[in-house]
Amino acid sequence: MKDQNVPSEIVGVVGDVKHHGLDSTSRPTIYWPHPELVYNSMTLVVRSKADPVRLTSSIRAIVQSIDPDLPISEVRTMEQRMSDSVAQARFNTLLLGIFSAVALLLAVIGIYGVMSATIAERTHEIGIRVALGAMPRDIWRQTLVSGAIITFVGLGAGLAASFMLTRLLASLLFDVKPGDPATFALVTAVLASVALLACYVPARRAMRVDPMVALRYE
């Protein structure tokens, strides 16, 4: 049987294309001249330095002048098409961002509450230390170190859980790996800074404890 495939000349090679959306995988794609491979529908792409919205009527007029019976639909700019392709991912990311902000706020309140309660329970001890000659900066440093230990234990547990849940976030990321080291480092730095800031106020309060008042504290 005679081979029906017609040889074609390759005139160029382009990069990977995600034709069905930024969250889709790249598929092998071949571009053919329209006269050689005719479809019932096709996409016309127009590139211009002018505002593309203003060109809509002109493009319609040119197409209608070629074929008055040719329907034209879904006229959109490239920015609109890209925005639509990531609309669901953007909504999911917004929800995750809101929940993350609430979780961060709760974490700060929790750390502040724990440190405040710890200092309240140790007021008598702190008073004795100050009476025996402990410097205020030593009390401040010790209190801050206690908060830092709690913070970094929590960060370690959080990082371990994050590495196990990275696959759930893969569908929301574009050109970023779920286990991106820079992202984890930045998030860890932000969380550590916020948590240590939450420890700062109780530590300053411990540094200013009056030993006479603390010794009478029950």
Cβ neighbours, 10 Å, residue 1: 3
Helices 181-207, 136-164: axis angle to 10 degrees equals 150
Per-residue confidence at 98, pLDDT binned at 50, 70, 90?
Answer: very high
Residue ranges per structural domain of the chain: 1-85, 86-215
Can you give the pTM of this predicted structure? 0.57
pLDDT exceeds 70 at position 96 = yes
Q: Does 215 score more than 60 pLDDT? A: no
Query: 173-189: string of b/e by CB count within 10 Å (b at 16+)?
Result: eeeeebeeeeeeeeebe
How confident is the model over 178-205, as a mean pLDDT?
77
pLDDT tens digits, residue range 129-159?
Answer: 777 777 777 777 777 787 788 778 888 888 8
Q: Above 50 in pLDDT, residue 187?
A: yes
- State yes or no: pLDDT of 94 exceeds 80: yes
